[in-house]
Amino acid sequence: MANETRLYRIVRDALKTVSEQARHFQKYRREFNAERRARTHALIDFVGDIKLQMTAFSDCYIVSDVRPAWHVLAAVQALGSRFLEEGMLTRGGVVLGLAHHSGSVVFGPAVIEAYRLESEVAKYPRILVADEVRQAAWGYHEGLCRGRLFTQDSDGCWFVNVIFPPLSDWEALSIPKAEKDLRSHLRKIRKTLLKLLDETGTDIKHRSNVRWLINQFNIVARTADAEPIDRE
């Protein structure tokens, strides 16, 4: 905090973004559920109350919902994309399982499994997705996201693609509307990744993480006719 003032500001602003998103979720949940209960004319309500929750602590955040899976994925992808644009790398796991999540109280086997994915399997700055989650949200991936939400790595793991700008305009997201021109967004990401690469210095682990992201960036850039990164 004393020696890396720029990094301090980045972390501070990122956590402010997470806190703002958590408050936005609370407001959305209250209003959505109140509106649902007011629809007394509906003979059958297939939706039910949503349980969308978000809790932040230290440099971590947890998003949960009972259904559907795309709520969590939309938030994770949008936040990860925004953080990358600002030079913040994210790593995590999205799983399906049992957990108690109420306000700041979070515990359960699903939390442990998500942490295990993040700490033991992810390795690189990628947000892994359990097979059950991927299958549950595959329609969202192929439909609204046009096949851009999930991508599979060389080790067979599926992860959330944060190279793209936020893919959802879901009103529960407090993320500003994304730049719809993909190539403009990729130019910003390219600039950020080159800066991160220059800042890695002799930190081999950090350089490996940035290099992994550059490889993912190049995959997207080539499909979008954008300039890849070829610096050694």
pLDDT in tens, 132-148: 999 999 999 999 999 99
CB atoms inside a 10 Å sphere around CB 20:
12
Question: What is the reported pLDDT for 58?
Answer: 78
- What global pTM score does this model have? 0.88
Question: What is the reported pLDDT for 43?
Answer: 46
Mark the ranges of the chain whose per-residue pLDDT is less than 70. 39-48, 177-180, 232
Instruction: Give 122's contacts (C-beta < 8 A, 6+ positions apart).
Output: 91, 92, 93, 128, 157, 159
Residue ranges per structural domain of the chain: 5-160, 182-223
Q: Are strands 105-107 and 60-64 parallel, antiparallel or unpaired?
A: unpaired
CATH class of 5-160: alpha beta
Calpha distance 227→229 (Å, rounded): 7
pLDDT in tens, 189-221: 999 999 999 988 888 999 999 999 999 999 999
Question: What is the reported pLDDT for 47?
Answer: 52
102: left (phi over 0), alpha (psi -120 to 50) or beta: beta
CB 148 within 8 A of CB 164: yes
CB 150 within 8 A of CB 158: yes
